[in-house]
Chains A and B, each alone.
Chain A
Amino acid sequence: MAVAVEAAPSQPTQTHADVTRDVVATLAPATKGYYLLLFGAVGLFLIGAITLLLIVKEGLGLAGYQPPVFWSVFITTFVFWVGIGHAGTLISAILYLFRSPWRTAVYRATEAMTVFAVMTAALFPIIHIGRQWIFYWLLPYPNQRYLWPNFKSPLMWDVFAIGTYFTVSTSFLIFGLIPDVAAVRDKATGWRKTVYSLLSLNWQGTDNQWRHYSKAYLYLAALAAPLVLSVHSVVSWDFASSLIPGWHGTIFAPYFVAGAIYSGVGMVFTLLIPLRKYLKLEHMITDYHFDNMAKLTLFTGTILFYAYGMEYFVAWYSGNTFEQTTFFRRAFGPAWWAGWSMIIPNAFLSQLLWFRKIRTNLTSLFVISIFINIGMWFERYVIIQSLTNDYIPYAWDQMNPTWADWGILAGSFGWFGMWFLLFAKNFPVVAIQEIKEFIPMPRKRAGGHH
């Protein structure tokens, strides 16, 4: 991982007490602006919910599906959200194993983002199937028909991959929260105290608890780390293991993982930059953190750049007319606009991050991050649109999304935003205990510890 290993410039002025105080302060009663945002999110979510009801009643035909395009916006959005999740796990698990100092301030927020993103993504396999009410047939449960699902199907792999990812990342988040919730509990009063003490599972931070805890945290991180690579690889095999030109690519797994982290970090910027301002965490989440995350963005963005180039090169070099047609039309076909709104933000915009000025300027980062989100959504859209022109020219057709597609998309953002906002106001979005780990405790004798 190409991240700085220089020690975190921890703020000498800060004591452990300050950390606790500042973080607990973020849980203070919310302002009007917060509730406005929250209601906005809930509103979007309701739009999605109503759209879904109509779809279940009337049929998927409400969406813009146009054979041979049997998948479109729903799967696009599904992959988009799964991708978002990855940055969180990367920062919280992999960087933990790498002991990279800059993760501590941001990992809690990104971890939460992961959980909620996967929560959103997990809805889509249900939304997008034709008979939503029997989605559970995808699970291997004993039934009177003696039927089992088909484990050779990439979609089954998906079910397990997403299920595992959701469970593990959720428990990882909650696990990390326990000591912090305890800390909050000890500051809280009234009914909040009771709630938090329930949630803290009576955590007291005894030597015994800590010794199991830190080991377990290490193992959990070790288990979660490969998920960062596996989950999106599995998702990419939904496409790569088919034989559709434009899907059938061996580079898909690394290409998707890089894309996932890229989009994830993009979303982290989009969420953290305003959040930091709103919760007044400037002295905990600093330019130093953003700079490092920007470097991560640059790194993954450059991998994407390479992957895009490689896709075109392979299509040309293979001499395979199907591949060639697909990629030609991706850039110059009827849907050229989608193709370019994928390539420009992802491949080219990310290259701006070579400049430290841009990396450390939050405004530019924020703007870029918005483009990253759009670009990455379109990447998935464009890849899925390969369906418009596969083997049999007679069957070719273009498709246009309808209100139903946009309704569900909006709903997914509402659903995600709703959860994230609720979390940000009720749980410490910065890991108290881990920040403290990097702030030396006062000593009687002079000199650092041996």
Chain B
Amino acid sequence: MSDNDQKSVSRRKFLSVLGTTSAGAAVLSGCSTEKVEKLIPYLVQSEDQVPGVATWYASTCTECSAGCGLHVRTREGRAVKLEGNPEHPVNAGRLCAMGQAGLQGLYNPGRIKGPMQKSGGSWRQISWDDAIALLGQQVGAAGAGLAVLSGAPRGSLTGFLADFTAAAGGRLVRWEPFDQTALRLASKRIFGRDEVPTHDFAKAKYIVSFGADFLDTWGPTVENQRQFAESHGFSRDGGMAKHVYFAPRASLTGLNADEWHGIKPGSETALALAMAGVLLGERGIAAPAGAPSVSVEQAAEATGLKAEDISRFAKEFAAAQPSLAVAGGIGSQHAGAVELCAAVHLLNYAAGNLGETVRFGGDLDRGDGQAAFTALQQAMEAGQVKVLLVHEANPVYGTPKAGKFAEALAKVPFKVSTSLYVDETSSQCDLILPGLHALERWDDANPRAGVWGLMQPVMEPVYPNRNSGDVLLAASQKAGGVFAKFAAPSWEAYLKDRWAAMAKARGRDAATFWREALAKGGVYEPEAAVPVKAVVAGAVATEAPAIEGTGDFTLVPYASSLLYDGRGTNKPWLLETPDPVTKITWHAWVELHPDAAAKLDVKEGEILKVTSAHGSIEAPAYIYPGLRPDVVAIPMGFGHTEYGEYAKDRGPNYLDLLGPATGEFVAYLGTKVTVERLREYRKVAKTEGNPRQLGRGIAEAMPVAYAAKGLTVKEAATAAGHPPHEINTEAEVKALEGWREGQVGREDGEGRRLGNYAGEHPLWGMTIDLGKCTGCSACSTACYAENNIPWVGEDQVLRGRELSWIRIERYWEGGTDGEPVEARFVPMPCQHCDNAPCEPVCPVYAAYHTPDGLNGQVYNRCVGTRYCANNCPYKVRYFNWHAYARKAFVAPFELQLNPDVVVRARGVMEKCTFCVHRIRGAQHTAKVTGAPIKDGELTTACAQACPSGAIVFGDLNDPQSRVRQIAQDPRGYHILEDINVRPAITYLAKVVHREPAHAAPGGGEQH
């Protein structure tokens, strides 16, 4: 990375030109052979960009406030893939679906192409100079009437904004809809620390979540999931932690719990306190002064649980050291959320988890809370705000309509937005100064104490816009006066100064410090853990908060891990990736419990009118067993009226139902609604067919007791009294045993004539640990990004034509006649069978077997008979019924295409390739350098992304390889083993905390 940004950027310009016209860039010609006419050389040869060779830059993800570290893969000057930075303490090389989709924010067609001023209600393009002059003049005149509303992650910019507003005596409000205000306030109340603590799920042996969706949206989800997999993923020696989840709706986190209890909304506080009471009793500790106490019976009364269950939880919780209780999730954020978090703090205190699994001093990034926001809004209404700068925030969409923020905004004389897109807020502004995407600009983020992530421009901006930092600095100079002191020539310079100061504070030389930070993606220092003791200040109300309004149902809005608070909705990847829980794509829905649905006689897809005191919305129904019968759940993130073509017309915005936010946070859970059938239908575009596995042993599971004994799936089934239905006769089984040798023999004989790859033939294989997989869908989004998979849109998904190469199947177990519903997630990529049924039926050898054990698919040979897809027992082959790629990758989306992967044309079959381009790439390098491929240096996009590390890829012929080791785990099994297709993917059965008797491996019930 050169020090002179301007120069390196101008280089990258030509790189990008070259990238798009030559150097094997995957353009949409797909399988056609249309000729590239021009070869455009670099003007100046860049030392860090070689055509055909990927260049990696370290950066920081800004999709949410977790601040994960990134490694950005660029080709010919274009960012083509985002991956986690292994050195980063938060995500340790992993990345969630939202992070993967960051690219689609970068290359989004909805991006604004230059500064725009509203004159007479319509927008007109203006020059940057005019825009900055205008801003400077307005800011200069605003004085104390200057206000900034920023959703940007904490970092140098936030610091600058603070100084910037302070200079004029104005105000800065940092607004993050999903910040954990309740948790922070509770910490203040119980421990006197005004901060959001960090949690260690890896250490915890028993995890209780009171509606804290730590796998969906609560806190740094990638880190949570990684740690959760560590403790909750089964290992013979380490055992397996237990996870209990209390909330009216089972979110993805709930579905990954060993026990989910849909307790009465708002009753969590009593439950937590009761458990704390039992613990204190057990361990003979005195309750901290002022801590309220709730008896088990009262709690049972409040929650609707059995008293003995509650004491059981308490005892198990106490027995496991250390344990962890968490609260404060969006789905359970009711008026009493602070009390709840306080109670949970007491519970952790009683269990002695403080400093163990709950640590202070981390000071996670957070906003200023709803109170500050409300104050700002009042000031706006009072006309005290002259100039409002909205930075990376969309409050008009993200706050309840009843809160009337839009009206307040209208009262501000001059409104400026730095939004990259025309969204609900920026469209209301007078001036838009489109900023740069995090991958195009200099910036940094400070998600928690001790972690400073850097962002650097990895490519020339897609549109000639400017970093908001630069704009503000320039505007300050124009404004002069109190702003004159912000004299840094550029944001990069300003940033470097701050980092120089950081270096100084650490007694380091600024230049080296900076260079190292750039290379590592930032500075990572261990957080200074602060010991705390319980000093209960202020009472903890134990009774459930009132649910306002009337109606038979309580409204449970919840945040989806893909769309988050609605910022993901303009990214087609996130819309096409099915919601991990409901498997619905592209459009909003309303969730009803089967009983409630039966009572109202509602079928899936019937449009329901949900009405509250504040408004009503209409959306199709989805019947979901993971709900209390007396609640309806609605996903957040839909209902955009602006924010680009992809976000529009995706159903209603749940916020229309909520009352105005009062106090410190929005009480998402706290509205009663009535549900009414409209007798109109709208088919729900879900990717799931039959949610039951009909005893076909697709998603196997076994009780932890058996797993610990090292039983295989079949043994476990037999032990549990469900002897597996044997289809293969002895003779057949014998035949199978001899089969592999026969295959190898053939490969040696005729395989040799096919030529040989570097060294001996590897045998590529994969293992997927269902005990670790949480169904988060990061792998399928990563696959979209890596393999140029086009999205097909709602109408085609309704026809089941989505092209997701690795789909996450979600099967329900139980849920009938009172027993709790269990979800099992199965990532289903191509199984690369040795005995692949798809191969022999292809009349043109487009599907065939490579010498290194891949199930090859030659797109340009495929004529599209589709027999292979019919004959695939796993149904993992996908057909281009239309020219999907052409339709999907409209400019500038085509810049994100991976040049190493052919874009498939209409009429050809496509499927998971085990990232064959990565394999061949590694083999080319191995050939050139002469160094053989080492285990682990080559992996697939899905395995790379998986936050749980559930997917492992490697060479099965190498006895030392990790994948080979794992494949020999007793829990290992092949899906549909009986049909003898010999898949290359070994699944490790899920392990459940259940009495062996109840565990019905392979799904008990038949059709």
Q: Which residues of A contact B (CB under 8 A)?
A: 58-61, 64-68, 70-71, 128-131, 134-135, 137-138, 147, 149-150, 152-156, 159, 238, 241-244, 319-322, 324-325, 328, 387, 389-397
Contacts and interface: CB of A to CB of B under 8 A. Distances in A.
A321 B867 contact: no
7 contacts: A65-B879, A70-B867, A153-B840, A243-B871, A389-B690, A391-B875, A392-B696
Contact of A393 (B694, B796, B864): B694
Nearest to B690: A393
Contacts of A321: 694-696, 725, 1006-1007
A154 B880 contact: no
Contacts of A389: 690
Contacts of B841: 153-155, 241-242
A138 B865 CA distance: 10
Contacts of A392: 696, 698, 809, 828, 873-875
Contacts of A324: 1007
B863 interface: yes
B908 to A, nearest CB: 6
A163 to B, nearest CB: 13
A131 B864 contact: yes
B870 A130 contact: no
Given A153-B841, A328-B1007, A68 B875 contact: yes
B757 interface: no
B689 interface: yes
B691 interface: yes
Given A130-B908, A243-B873, A393-B696, A65 B799 contact: yes
B866 interface: yes
Nearest to B981: A243
Contacts of B907: 59-60, 129-131
Nearest 10 CB-CB pairings of A with B: A130-B864, A130-B907, A61-B881, A396-B689, A393-B690, A395-B875, A70-B866, A394-B809, A131-B907, A155-B843
Interface in B863-891: 863-867, 869-871, 873-875, 878-883
Given A153-B867, A391-B873, A397-B689, A130 B862 contact: yes
Interface of B: 688-696, 698, 725, 727, 796, 799-801, 807, 809-811, 826, 828, 837, 840-845, 861-867, 869-871, 873-875, 878-883, 906-909, 976, 979, 1006-1007
B690 A396 contact: yes
A130 B880 contact: yes
Nearest to A324: B1007
Contacts of B796: 61
Q: Which of B843, B861, B882 has the largest count of A CB atoms less than 10 A from its CB?
A: B843
A342 B845 CA distance: 35
A71 to B, nearest CB: 6
B827 to A, nearest CB: 12
A391 B872 CA distance: 9
Contact of B871 (A150, A159, A242, A393): A242
A387 B696 CA distance: 17
A66 B879 CA distance: 10
B801 A137 contact: no
A60 B695 CA distance: 35
Q: Which of A134, A243, A328 has the largest count of B CB atoms less than 10 A from its CB?
A: A243
Given A394-B811, A396-B689, A242 B725 contact: no
A392 B694 CA distance: 10
A100 to B, nearest CB: 39
B505 to A, nearest CB: 55
Given A391-B873, A394-B688, A150 B844 contact: yes
A129 B864 contact: yes
Contacts of A70: 866-867, 869-870, 879
A60 B505 CA distance: 66
B842 A153 contact: yes
A128 B799 CA distance: 18
Q: Which of A128, A322, A328, A394 has the largest count of B CB atoms less than 10 A from its CB?
A: A394
Contacts of A58: 882
Contacts of B861: 137, 147
Contacts of B882: 58-59, 61
Given A60-B881, A394-B688, 14 more contacts: A65-B881, A129-B864, A130-B880, A149-B845, A152-B840, A153-B867, A154-B867, A325-B1007, A392-B874, A393-B696, A394-B691, A394-B810, A395-B689, A396-B689
Contacts of B691: 393-394
A238 B843 CA distance: 11
Contacts of B883: 59
A61 B883 CA distance: 9
A152 B839 CA distance: 9
Contacts of B688: 394
A279 B926 CA distance: 79
A138 B692 contact: no
B809 A137 contact: no
A67 B725 CA distance: 29
B578 to A, nearest CB: 11
A389 B693 CA distance: 12
B871 A244 contact: yes
A68 B863 contact: no
Contact of A129 (B698, B809, B863, B979): B863
A333 to B, nearest CB: 10
Contacts of B807: 394
A68 B801 CA distance: 9
A325 B826 CA distance: 22
Contacts of A66: 799-801
B886 to A, nearest CB: 10
A434 to B, nearest CB: 40
A325 B1007 CA distance: 7
Contacts of A155: 841-843, 865, 867
B690 A138 contact: no
Q: Which of B811, B870, B880, B906 has the largest count of A CB atoms less than 10 A from its CB?
A: B870
Given A150-B845, A320-B727, A321-B696, A390 B873 contact: yes
B880 A159 contact: no
Contact of B843 (A138, A241, A387): A138
Contacts of A322: 696
A138 B862 CA distance: 11
B67 to A, nearest CB: 35
A322 B875 CA distance: 15
A325 B694 contact: yes
Contacts of A325: 694, 1007
A389 B807 CA distance: 18
A241 B979 CA distance: 14
B843 A61 contact: no
Contacts of A71: 866-867, 870
B843 A391 contact: no
B101 to A, nearest CB: 24
Contacts of B880: 59, 130
Given A138-B844, A394-B809, A67 B875 contact: yes
Nearest to A402: B799
A324 B809 CA distance: 23
A392 B873 CA distance: 7
A68 B869 contact: yes
A328 B828 CA distance: 26
B875 A137 contact: no
Nearest to A393: B690
B117 to A, nearest CB: 43
Contacts of A147: 844-845, 861
Nearest to A64: B799
A243 B870 CA distance: 9
A319 B726 CA distance: 10
B869 A59 contact: no
B809 A242 contact: no
Given A129-B865, A130-B864, A135-B863, A149 B843 contact: yes
A128 B864 CA distance: 8
B845 A393 contact: no
B193 to A, nearest CB: 46
Nearest to B873: A391
